[in-house]
Amino acid sequence: MLPHYKAKQVSVNRRRHYEIEGQQLPGVTTVLSATKPWEDKERLWRWRERVGAEEANRITAKASRSGTKIHKVIKAYLRQEDWVLPEGTEGFWASIEPVLKNIDEVLLVEGAVWHPLKFAGYPDALLVYGGQLLVCDWKTARRPKQPEWIEDYFLQVAAYCWAVNWVYREYDIKVERAMVAIALEDASPQLFTLTPDKLDQHWGQFQQRLRQYYRLK
């Protein structure tokens, strides 16, 4: 396991930031949320109109709770700590457990990372899977996702990869791949693996969003 760093979470203009070396840096998800493309916002608005505000709020809240619970279980599992599967998450766990059992090595679980371009965050895990070193982010979903729906997930893990490489540069860590693993409630998981070329592409897109974020401030 690599050294594990923590960063104090603070709110700046109601947005999540982390205190790192005397600076307050926006989280990766903060940057992406604040610069979400119009098409993504419009898709969400259309969905809320279709199902109704009350039902949309219920679905969103339930999904958030399930995601948080599964994240906590996965975190404990990877750290080899005791854990209890919360009621109502059995389907998600059945989906993602085979992936967890196939991990070769765990190097980091939810440790703080940051980058000179002034962003920070907590990647879910740095691990070896299928013989490849990669940053992995765990997600949950009721239904399978199309890649074009989850572009921000890919930008998120790309940013984490560059931050991990910066923070652990003295440990000869060079992450060139990433994986977004989506646990589905009643189906096998979706694994989206990003090759070095794809990761470079998404890193460039994240940098554009980061510049946009700082222009908006």
- Residue pair 152/194 in contact by the 8 Å Cβ criterion: no
Q: What is the pLDDT of residues 111-169, one digit of tens each?
A: 999 999 999 999 999 999 999 999 999 999 988 999 998 999 999 999 999 999 999 99
Looking at residue 142, its pLDDT comes to 87
Residue ranges of domains in the chain, CATH in brackets: 18-216 (3.40.1350.10)
Full 3-state SS string of 18-64: EEECCEEEEEHHHHHHHCCCHHHHHHHHHHHHHHCHHHHHHHHHHHH
Tokens standing for residue 83: 């854990």
Looking at residue 167, its pLDDT comes to 97
Q: Is the pTM of this model over 0.85?
A: yes
Which residue positions in the chain have pLDDT lower than 70? 41-42, 45, 47, 56, 58-64, 217
